[in-house]
Amino acid sequence: MSLFELTTHHAAPELTEAEKRQLFIKTLIKEFKSGVAKLSYSALSKFKRSPNAFINYKMKKFETTDSMLLGKLVHALVLEPETVEEVYYTDEEKTKEIGGASPRSTKAYKEWKAVQAEIYPHKELVSSDLLRLAKRMANAVVSNRAAKHILSRIQQTEHKIEFEHDGIKFTSFLDGLGEVILDLKICTDADPRKFQRDIIYNNYHIQAGVYTTAVGEVLPYYIIAVDRECEVSVHHLMEDLVMKGISIFEKLVTEFKQCLEKENFDESFDYRAYTEEGIYKMDVPPYLN
């Protein structure tokens, strides 16, 4: 159950969705001020967009998509392969047994799936197609020359760190930690030029700042990128970029605390606008001259 569902579960049934949202915001503010609630990089990245985006993220019901499941599988196969059979099971034998063009849409498959959910309540079902793709991608990573060099320099995987910065508590999960900090990314295109644009566009340098702050020292920071075509590229985020990420992270924490005090979580892009009224000004851009 999400935090939003927990907050509104016992709320009066006559409350509107807007009233439930306000109740959720007030509860969340109280929990952060009391030190109960913790931030993650993902939540902070939503706040960077806007306070409203942050609340939408916190209220969203968590559902695992195929893309998310693929990412979890590749991470497990690369970083902790011994855990894969403990956490996942596949439908390969059943789909072969049923046969046909769409075996997963049949009654027999749905009945089998229901039974398996009871037998393996703590395991996650993955389709045979998704598992095969994940294995190909993971193999591409562990056999890549640059990736192997970085993987050999980590001693801990899926490492959880809880820390506090400027009165706000954080929880971070590092893919790899040792002589270096490692982040494994499943991406649309691992082409080095394209992915390095994604690093900035997706705020991965800020994530590097968060994780470096969590570790407490500036270690070499690497990202291994792999796409569905099993192409792999490895990127060393240089210290200046990581320090820039730390600077932005610290600024965001300050803004987040101000937002808590002023209770401005209903604001959208007006939160960071140029004027007090929340309006953005636009002059003639240089390329039109």
Domain boundaries, the chain: 38-82+136-264, 83-135
Q: Give the CB-side neighbour count of residue 23, counting CA atoms within 13 A.
A: 17
Q: What is the CATH number of domain 38-82+136-264?
A: 3.90.320.10
Q: What is the DSSP letter of 62?
A: P
Inform me whether the pLDDT recorded for 16 exceeds 50: yes
In this structure, are residues 125 and 91 in contact, taking their beta carbons and an 8 Å threshold? yes
pLDDT band at 9 (very low <50, low <70, confident <90, very high): low
d(CA 97, CA 103): 9
Inform me whether the pLDDT recorded for 194 exceeds 70: yes
Inform me whether the pLDDT recorded for 116 exceeds 80: yes
Q: Do the strands 181-186 and 221-226 form a parallel or antiparallel pair, or are they unpaired?
A: parallel
Inform me whether the pLDDT recorded for 8 exceeds 60: no
Average pLDDT over residues 214-242: 98
In this structure, are residues 174 and 181 in contact, taking their beta carbons and an 8 Å threshold? yes
Each residue's pLDDT tens digit, 118-175 = 998 899 999 989 999 999 999 999 999 999 999 999 999 999 999 999 999 999 999 9
The pLDDT of residue 1 is: 46
pLDDT band at 3 (very low <50, low <70, confident <90, very high): low
pLDDT band at 63 (very low <50, low <70, confident <90, very high): confident
The pLDDT of residue 14 is: 80
CB atoms within 10 A of CB 46: 19
The reported pTM is: 0.88
Residues sharing a CB contact under 8 Å with residue 109, sequence separation 6 or more, in sequence order:
91, 94, 95, 98, 103
CA dist 47 → 23, 44, 253, 272 (Å): 19, 5, 10, 11
**Arithmetic mean of pLDDT over the chain:** 92
